[in-house]
Structures are given as C-alpha cells and as structure tokens.
Amino acid sequence: MTTGPGDTGPPRRWSPTVPGGGHHGAAGGPPQASGVSAARAAVRSAVRDDAEARARALLVVRLTIALYLAELLLNLLRPHVQPHEPALSIFERTTRLSGSVGRLLATPRTVFWLVLAGIVAGVLLQVLVMATRPDERRARTLTWLTVAVVLGPFGLIPLTVIAEYPLQALACVPGTAFALALLHFGQRFSRIPAMMLLAAFAWGALVVFGLGRAASNLAFGTLYGFMGDGAQSDLTRLAERQYDALDVVVVHSGVVNALVVAAGVALLLVLFRHRVTDAVTGLVVGAAIGLGYNLVESTLIIRLFGTLSAFTGTTGGFEYWVRQSIGLLGGQVAFGAVLGAGFGLAAQARRRGGRTRAALAGLAAAICGAIATETLAAWLSRIVHDHVSVGGPLDTLVVSPFLWLLPQAPFIVVAVLLLAVGTRARAAAARDAVAAEAASGTAITRWEAPFLADPALRFWSLVSTGRLYGRGSALALRRLQLAQLDLAAWRWQHPGVLDGPAKEEGDRLRARVMLLRTRPGIRPAAAPRPGQVTP
Amino acid sequence: MTRRPARRATLHLFGLLLGTLFAALLILPLTPQQASACDVSYAYRPSIDLEHFGRTRTCSTGTSLVGVALVSVVTVGALTATGFLVYRRGAATAGTPPGRSAPAPALAAYLQATGLPLPPPNRPPAGGYPPPAGGPPPPAGGYPSPGGYPPSYGRPGGGDAAPPG
C-alpha cells in the first residue's frame, strides 16, 4: 500500500516474531487485580454512585413502593363480600394446600411483611444518613442498602417459583441465554456493558415479576370485593364474578408491569455508565428486562398449565414451545423493547415536549401490547373453535401459536423497525467518529478506519485472522477493535473536547488502544467509563 | 432518509398501531371466552366437559418438541447463513476473491497497520512476507477495488489520497 504525501504510514512493526519480543510501545500496563477486588473494581467502574445518581435511584425506588402501597390501600378499602373477611385479602385462609402450590400461595403474605419491614428499615437508614451526614463512602453504602431492603422482598416470589420448579426453570435457560447473547453481540457500535444487560435481566426476573404478582394478587382481591355480590351459594355466579375480576386483573397487570419495566429502564440508564443513550440502548435494556420476566413467567406457566391439561388441553411442553421457542422474542421482550426504545428516544430529544411524547408512546405501546395479547388471542381462539381440530398437529404447531403471536406482531414489527433505524443511525455516526479520530490521532490510522466502520469488513478480518494466525491472534485483534470503537464512541459524544475530565477520558482510551497494540495479551484493569474518575 | 424524518415516521407508525389496537380493545366485550384451540394464557377460559373429561385431545409435548427442534434448526441455519453472507460481503469489500487460501493483501496491510505482533501465518501471504521496515509493497497492478477499498476517509477539509493503483 503506497503512502501519500504527508502520511506517516502504518506503524512499522510487522515482523513474524513471537508476541512480546522486539516491540516499541508503552511500558507495561497496570497489574492484574485478582478475585473480589477485581469484581469490586469492575462494579465501581460500571455503576455511577455520585449523589445525583443515588438521588434518582431513591426516587425510582420510592415511586415503585408507592405503587405497592396504593394497591394495599385500595385492598383495605374494598367492600367485604363475606363475613369475617380479613382486612387484606391476601390473608384470607382458603382450603389449606400443601406442596409447591401452598408455598406459592403463601408468598404474597410473606412479601407483605418483608416489604413493611423493608420500608421501616429504609426510612431508618435515610434518617440515619440525614442525621449523621456520613462521608461519601458511607452515604453510598447506606443508599444502596436502602434500595436493597426496600425492593429485595419482591424477589421472594420469583425465587420461590424457580426453587419450586427448578426443572422447568432449567429448561428455559438455553433459549433465554441465546436471546441475551443475541442482544449483547447484536449491538454493533458502542455496546452497553455486559453488567448493565445482566442487571436489566435481573430487574425483569425479580422486581417486575415479583412486584407485578404481588400487586395483581392484591388487585384481584380488591376487584372481587367491588364486583362480588355475596352469592356464595350460586357456584355459576361465583365463577362468573371471579372470571370478570380476572379479566380486569389482566388489564391491571399490563399497566403495572409496564410501569415497573419503565422504572427499570430509567434506573439503569441513569445508574450505569455507558457511552451512548439512544433508541438502540433503550431497546436492548427493555428487551433484557422482558427476557428476565419471561423466564420466570414461563417457568410458572409451563408447570401450571401442564398440571391443568385435562381442563385446558394444554401441556407443559406446548407452553414451552409457544413461550420459549417460537414466541421467545415476542411478548414482554418485544413490549419491553418498544418501551425502552421510547425512553431512549426521549433521552435524545432536545425539547421537553418531545421527551414526554416519546416516553409516553413507548409506555402506552407496552401496556396496549400486553393487554391485547391476552384478550385478543383468547377471542381469536374462540372464533376458530369450530374450524380447527383441537390438539392436532396443525393446532399445536400452527394455529394456536399463530393466534398467540398475531396480536404481538405489530409490536414486534415496530421493535424491528426501531432497531433498524437506530442501527443505521449508529453506523453513520460510527463512520464519522472513526474518520474524525483517524484524522486527529494515532490510535486509529487511515488504514484501520475502513475496517472499524464496516461491520462486514471487521467480521471478515477477524475470521480471516483466526484462520490464518490462530484464535489468540483473532482475540487480540478483536480486543484492539473494541477499544478503538470505544474511543470512537467517546469521540461521537465529545466531538470538540479540548480540556477537562472528558479530554482526560479520551487520553486514557487512546492509551488503552496503544497498550493493546504493543501488549495484546494484557487485559488493562478496567476501561475508563463515561464520567468515571480514575483513582 | 435522514434521521429526523425517519424518527417521525416511526413515531407516527407507533401512533397508528396504538390507535388500532386500542379501538379493537374497546370493541371486544370483556367476557370470559370459552376454550377452543389450545389455551396459552390467563385470559383463555377452559370449557369443562364432564362427559369427555380426561379424554380431551391436548397439544401434546411430543408434537410441541418437534416444533422446538424445527425452530432451533431454522435459527441456527439462519445465523450460519447470515454469518457466511456477511463474511463474503466483507471479502468483496476488501477486494478478495472468495475461496482464497492465502492472506489477502488488504488483510496483510490492515494487520500491519494495527501493529499487533502476530505469529507466522498458517499459509504464507501471496508474494512472500513483506519487509520488516518500509511498509508492505503494493501488489503488481495495485489493489483490486471493486468495492472501492479502501473507501476514502479523508481528513476534514482536506482531499483524499488516491487509492493505490
């Protein structure tokens, strides 16, 4: 490759030598941290813990608890249908059930007491912070402890589901892991940290499912109190009233789940350091939350509907097929993706009106999608009743999954469109950012720029390098490319930075790239995250 | 399509879909629906037929697992095909004919530009190893550029150096 006038040419380090011998470049990088301290350092580098982030986290937690307390209040105010009803419907003693069902039915009561204890503990911790005004480190610890004790009890319900039905949960793991990998590796430029993706998954599995179930339990009792008319001797009317209440609970669940997903997306976007906040960022976070929720719900439904197959015609295997195979990326994953993308677009909007519209559109879409899926699918299923042989291969493989996915289809299409538009925007930004960095520095050269900006070319270079020079060389090249793309993402966010912490961050990213060129086997201790203060 | 009109179009599509679904919800009576095709979720209502209780046909686990296997095979196949197509597109952009067994000049130049210390390739590059100093010599006739490799990435405000050859 010839060089033009003024070009410095590629670095002249080409030599078929063993790695580590005869190279120019920076001195060795920081020593490798080990074990727990490395994990702590990784968490500290990924998560913001400044006062503003903590204040926003506490706000989200307070709003989430306020939702649960509102459900409790409505339940307390419900009309009592039967004599000697307890103040809260979750304390009503029905026929004592043993085994896993009995334990599951008991969890809302346990959650209630734990949430109350958590609220008291949280208030005491916050009073302690305000009264003693501890140093920064202690204030950080107390704040995260508050978040844990207040939200942690809701995790009891999904953990009970998984502990009671471990085989069903294990069966759902491969599909879920595949979808998570797709979300992680499918982001071409400026990926969110893996820790953020896992935190989103955990939020969906523990908080969205747990709080959603706790709230729905209370809502069912509340609605039955308002709708029931005391006709306990008429079993038909009793069943009808319960089904009516369940229909409204379906609507209620759609609203509550979407609100808690929204809280998770907002919290994660605020707490985790990441380079870019756009539609793709929000979409990935929202989809990961939906995946977590889907894992726990699938476990429960596979077991529940499998037990009731004499009544429903459904087996556990069928539910697995619909929810963890053909419908894996639908349902709450698609609705969470659309909601998250709306929040990501809101974060990019300059004006307050645009931000509100984008966030509300995402939220409304998620709510309508969840409600429409439950009600429309059942209604369509009823319509085809006389035309389809129930339980045959056609019904199992085509008709029933089709009717379930049909109401979700528009939302899946919108999520895909948002992903395509967002990815295209990122690709254009990547090209510009890479070119700008190549023009101004040595961390990215003109010869490397085309490979960084074109995902197909980058993929080809990695595969070809692996085939010709071995897996280690391909991994070294990949680490270098990721570091360079991280630098380009920083350039995208800071196009004209000349001084200050942002410039220091850019210098550290460049130093990391240069270190990886010369010592490709070294893993620098932690890449600087946006706004991170390096100790 | 620039970013802002694309975003506006997407938001309008949002609104249209939301409106349609909301209208559908309002039309639907919220009454329990009898079971028909196999139940999937909470809003489906089972119909209890005591005469045929226990002998109802089910959407069996065996048939469902056949569906799972089919979807898995299709997914793996689609991912493999996509990877292959992306690889070929990258090779075409780099001006490398498919099925080439030696390191392409574009790859060799790129790897030299990275400065990574790499072991000898499994297969020597066409034309032998480039000299350790002075950069790799361009191949005779210059680099093929059906895709215009390397794309011009000029300095801001400046002209681009012409591609070699």
Q: How many CB atoms lie within 10 A of CB B50?
A: 6
pLDDT score at B152: 47
Q: Map out the domains of chain A as residue ranges.
A: 43-407, 425-518
Q: How far apart are CA A188 and CA A459, in angstroms?
A: 11
Whether A100 has its CB under 8 Å from any CB of chain B: the answer is no
Greater confidence (B110 vs B49) lies with: B110
Given CB atoms, is A534 within the 8 Å cutoff of chain B? no
- For A23, phi then psi, to 5°, come to -120, 150
Name the one residue in this structure whose structure tokens are 């004209």: A496
Q: What is the pLDDT of residue A239?
A: 77
Residues of chain B with Cβ-Cβ distance to A371 below 8 Å are 25
Nearest CB partner across the interface for A377, out of B21, B41, B133: B41
- Rounded CA-CA distance B37/A391 in Å is 7
Percent pLDDT > 70 in chain A is 87
User: Which residues are bridge partners to A43 per DSSP?
Assistant: none
Mean pLDDT for the stretch of residues A11-23: 33
pLDDT class of B34 with cuts at 50, 70, 90:
very low
Residue B21 near chain A (CB below 8 Å):
yes
Is the per-residue pLDDT at B146 higher than 50?
no
Pairwise pLDDT comparison (B96 vs A117), residue with the higher score: A117
Q: Identify the residue among A12, A14, A311 best suited for mutation to test binding to B, counting B beta carbons within 10 A and taking the highest.
A: A14
Please indicate whether, in this complex, the C-beta atoms of A11 and B133 are within 8 angstroms of each other.
Answer: no
- Would you say A407 and B21 are in contact if contact means Cβ atoms under 8 Å apart? yes
Q: Do B93 and A454 touch (CB under 8 A)?
A: yes
Residue-level pLDDT at A36? 79
In terms of Cβ atoms closer than 10 Å to its own Cβ (0-12, 13-18, 19+), residue A376 is buried
Least confident of A273-287, A311-325, B59-73, B134-148: B134-148
* CB atoms inside a 10 Å sphere around CB A499: 7
Q: Which residues on B lie below 8 Å from A400 (Cβ)?
A: 37-38, 40, 59
pLDDT computed for residue A412 by the predictor: 96
pLDDT (0 to 100) of residue B112: 92
* pLDDT (tens digit per residue) in A158-184: 999 999 999 999 999 999 999 999 999
Is the link from the previous residue into A524 a cis peptide, with omega within 30 of 0?
no
Average of per-residue pLDDT across A18-45:
54
* Closest-CA distance of chain A to residue B72, Å: 8
Mean of pLDDT values over A32-43:
71
Other residues' Cβ atoms within 10 Å of the Cβ of residue A77: 10
ipTM of predicted complex? 0.83
Q: How far is A401 from chain B (nearest CA, A)?
A: 8
Residues of chain B positioned with their CB less than 8 A from the CB of A315: 58-61, 64
With a cut of 80, say whether residue A314 has pLDDT above it.
yes
B27 contacts chain A (CB < 8 A)? no
Percent of all residues in chain A with a pLDDT value above 90, rounded to a whole number: 55
Mean pLDDT, chain B, rounded, equals 67
**pLDDT at A393 > cutoff 60:** yes
Is B126's Cβ below 8 Å from some Cβ in A? no
- Establish if A399 touches chain B: CB-CB under 8 angstroms: yes
8 Å CB contact between A201 and A180: yes
B35 part of contact set with chain A, CB < 8 Å: yes
Is the pLDDT at B153 greater than 60? The verdict is no
| Average of per-residue pLDDT across B110-123 | 85
Which residues 492-521 of chain A have a CB within 8 Å of chain B?
517-518, 520
Say whether residue A276 is in contact with chain B using an 8 A CB cutoff: no
Residue A279 phi/psi, 5-degree rounding, is -60, -40
According to the model, what pLDDT value does residue B100 have?
Answer: 60
Cα separation, A495 vs A508, in Å, equals 16
d(CA A170, CA A206): 16
Cβ–Cβ of A385/B36 closer than 8 Å? yes
Taking a C-beta distance cutoff of 8 angstroms, is the pair A187, A271 a contact?
no
Q: Are A127 and A114 in contact (CB under 8 A)?
A: no
Q: What is the pTM of this model?
A: 0.82
Residue reference for tokens 């949960």: A169
Which of A133-137, A338-342, B12-16 shows the lowest per-residue confidence on average (mean pLDDT)? B12-16
Interface mutation target, options B61, B75, B118, chain A, most CBs of A under 10 Å: B118
Q: Rounded distance, CA A209 to CA B152, Å?
A: 51
Residue A524: closest CA among A500, A515, A492: A515
Between residues B23 and A193, the one the model is more confident about: A193
| Residue A388 to residue B37, Cβ atoms within 8 A | yes
What is the average pLDDT across A11-24?
A: 33
Which of A344-363 are b and which e, b meaning 16 or more Cβ less than 10 Å from the residue's Cβ? bbbbbeeeeeebebbbebbb
Residues in CB range of B65: below 8 A, 6 or more apart: A317, A321
Question: How do residues A47-71 score in pLDDT, each as one tens digit?
Answer: 887 888 888 889 999 999 999 999 9
Tens of pLDDT, residues A401-424:
999 999 999 999 999 999 999 999
**pLDDT confidence tier of residue A425, bands split at 50, 70 and 90:** very high
Top pLDDT among B17 and A315 is at A315
% helix, strand, coil for chain A, step of 5: 75, 0, 25
Tell me the mean pLDDT in the region A301-310: 85
- 3-state secondary structure at position A314: strand
Backbone φ and ψ of A219, nearest 5°: -65, -40
State pLDDT tens for residues A485-534: 999 999 988 887 677 888 888 999 999 999 998 876 655 555 566 665 44
Query: Is A365 a residue whose pLDDT tops 90?
Result: yes
pLDDT tens figures, A75-116 = 999 998 888 888 999 888 765 666 777 777 778 888 999 999
3-state secondary structure of B44: strand
Residue B3: what pLDDT? 57
Dump pLDDT digits (tens) for A438-480.
Answer: 998 789 999 999 999 999 999 999 999 999 999 999 999 999 9
